[in-house]
Structure 1
């Protein structure tokens, strides 16, 4: 084996830590690339069938040129026969494993030849359920002609389920896919997956979400937030021993609720009276009553109790409600 068992054991622990959101997903991928002697590596999450195979926004790239990564995440993952062969096989595929001349493919012309790659590997990641399509893949390339040894290929296969967790670190069974995953402490906000620049919240707002999760009765807090462009995001903050993992993903429109109506609904779910909501949000009691009545109509709920239950089940909460609830 190219590296000893102790290295593989350390790598497995690092992969699992990244899958939980405890360390950046880039770290174990870099360890794989460097430890196995490749020059470039990328982690790509493929979109659901309804998206036409579009790539997920969370893509980790280690030293592939931008145009090469674009090819890998689009044309290669959608149409390349090498990728189709790797997906059907479900195990790592090296250049030497391809049962046809890969030099006849567009991938060879557009990505392999221009970069001088002489060997490579595609690892389909194990799906969460038998029969499901792989949620993504790892691809690595080398300018050396030596293929990866069989023992290392087997070890990567055994790690493929844990590596799949890197596509969406910190996810739980009922979580929607996240576009950005962050680790938040009182002193630091770090990206675990995705681009921190795409987050529609300030660092102060992220710390508010983290404090709410840390102070709550459960181990997580969920709410919705509308970005400056009008896009709704679902935010879920999960308490961990030494930090809070914050997951963000785009959300559908919330029954035509306005932002202020959602603030009110979030406080109704906490059992607040109209008078207390009025004080917490700094608006008139009559305005609160109007928002409650409008929310009942828009969400098709018969009464305040049903509205509170729906808010709790769907995490209809906001930063405005969190600010009011946390003083």
Structure 2
């Protein structure tokens, strides 16, 4: 049974339904399942939820777990100081104190386990701005990790009603689906049809599972290829691909192809890139050594520097370079480097056996 059917099937079990409950559930499910960017879905989603809770201010945040902060996908109706406070680690800790970091029922201001006046967000920002009630609900992925939080605030104690609060709890999985960044990230990863493994690289260097693909022995925290990945994207590339030496336990030395795709703009800011591992593809007859030398040509190394770095004779380097030019049908080393970069036919220096 899908989430939509589960939500609508539960309606008959509620003691009291808010007006238009079925229609609201259908619209939320439709928006959550629609294609497109998260930033496009959220405003439409909030418009529908306004029919459930007539709020004066709303915010939908995604969680940056590495910094312990909420990043807004949309916030409107709050003062600049209130909006700024709600993005701070202090506000996140406040939500933890209320238990909002756990998958639990939505909580109105009247439901808080402590006097609202003891909460800085309410006492210092929201109540002075004229808000009299509000509701917050954590948004969680199917596997239980927190994606973010939705807050709605009103200028009357009459809203949200108890029925609206309870119904918002039923809608929470559908809302979470609408903002789950893994949907667009998995779609992005699917563009590399021969990918055999992958992960998501965060800005702090941590790794997250990539839906639909296993991990790989080369993908572990601190792996050299992840440093190469971060540096490649820091150079402003839209995407990058290169070769990485790899010897499986049951096979000979070889290479795998690494493809880097920046996470979509709408993804939480702590997510940096999708890292995919594929078979190496057509290497144009380039040898292991020639692929290393191409990596150095990409960085602009001279023949003399290559000879020193690889500890080989200068005439040997010259011979390798000539072979590279022939195999890439390039009239000069600069064009060979450009083609190698475009085709991903090189081993970056950080992954090669090169003396610094």
Name the TM-score class by shorter chain: 0.5 to 0.7
**Superposition deviation, residue 73 in structure 1:** 2.0
User: In proportion to residue count, which structure has more helix?
Assistant: 1
1:205-261 CA-partner distances (Å, limit 9, x unpaired): xxxxxxxxxxxxxxxxxx99967x7466767499xxxxxx877753599xxx79956
Describe the shift of the 1:119–1:19 C-alpha distance in structure 2 as closer, same or farther (beyond 3 A).
Answer: farther
> Does residue 250 of structure 1 match 2:250?
no
**Superposition deviation, residue 142 in structure 1:** 0.6
Task: Tell me the secondary structure at the aligned position of residue 184 of structure 2.
Answer: coil
1:164 alignment partner in structure 2: 176
Q: Give 1:15's match in structure 2, choosing from 26, 29, 32.
A: 32
Map 1:136-175 onto structure 2 (within 5 A): 136-165=148-177, 166-168=179-181, 170-172=184-186
Larger radius of gyration: 2
> Does residue 42 of structure 1 match 2:59?
yes
Contact persistence 1:96–1:147 (CA under 8 A): no
2:200 alignment partner in structure 1: 176
Q: Give 2:75's match in structure 1, choosing from 61, 76, 86.
A: 61
1:81-127 CA-partner distances (Å, limit 9, x unpaired): 68633334611100121132111221222221221100000111123
Between the aligned partners of 1:150 and 1:163, the Cα distance in structure 2 is: 19
**What TM-score does the superposition give when structure 2 sets the normalisation length?**
0.51
Map 1:84-163 onto structure 2 (within 5 A): 84-88=98-102, 90-130=104-144, 132=145, 134-163=146-175
**Superposition deviation, residue 66 in structure 1:** 2.3
Between the aligned partners of 1:29 and 1:280, the Cα distance in structure 2 is: 58
Between the aligned partners of 1:96 and 1:280, the Cα distance in structure 2 is: 75
2:312 alignment partner in structure 1: none
Moved more, 277-286 or 162-171: 277-286
1:198 alignment partner in structure 2: none
Map 1:282-301 onto structure 2 (within 5 A): 283-285=334-336, 295=347, 297-300=349-352
Between the aligned partners of 1:143 and 1:276, the Cα distance in structure 2 is: 72
In structure 2, list runs of 5 or more residues that go unmatched.
Answer: 1-16, 190-197, 204-228, 240-259, 276-294, 300-323
**What TM-score does the superposition give when structure 1 sets the normalisation length?**
0.55
Describe the shift of the 1:85–1:277 C-alpha distance in structure 2 as closer, same or farther (beyond 3 A).
Answer: same
Q: CA RMSD in A?
A: 4.6
Alignment length (residue pairs):
233
Describe the shift of the 1:148–1:224 C-alpha distance in structure 2 as closer, same or farther (beyond 3 A).
Answer: same
Describe the shift of the 1:143–1:31 C-alpha distance in structure 2 as closer, same or farther (beyond 3 A).
Answer: same
Between the aligned partners of 1:112 and 1:280, the Cα distance in structure 2 is: 68
Describe the shift of the 1:35–1:226 C-alpha distance in structure 2 as closer, same or farther (beyond 3 A).
Answer: farther
In structure 1, list runs of 5 or more residues that go unmatched.
Answer: 180-222, 239-244, 262-272, 302-327
Between the aligned partners of 2:332 and 2:77, the Cα distance in structure 1 is: 49
1:3 alignment partner in structure 2: 19
**Superposition deviation, residue 175 in structure 1:** 6.3
1:287-312 CA-partner distances (Å, limit 9, x unpaired): 868999972653248xxxxxxxxxxx
2:290 alignment partner in structure 1: none
Q: Give 1:33's match in structure 2, choosing from 22, 32, 50.
A: 50
> Does residue 78 of structure 1 match 2:88?
no
Describe the shift of the 1:258–1:93 C-alpha distance in structure 2 as closer, same or farther (beyond 3 A).
Answer: farther
Contact persistence 1:82–1:102 (CA under 8 A): no
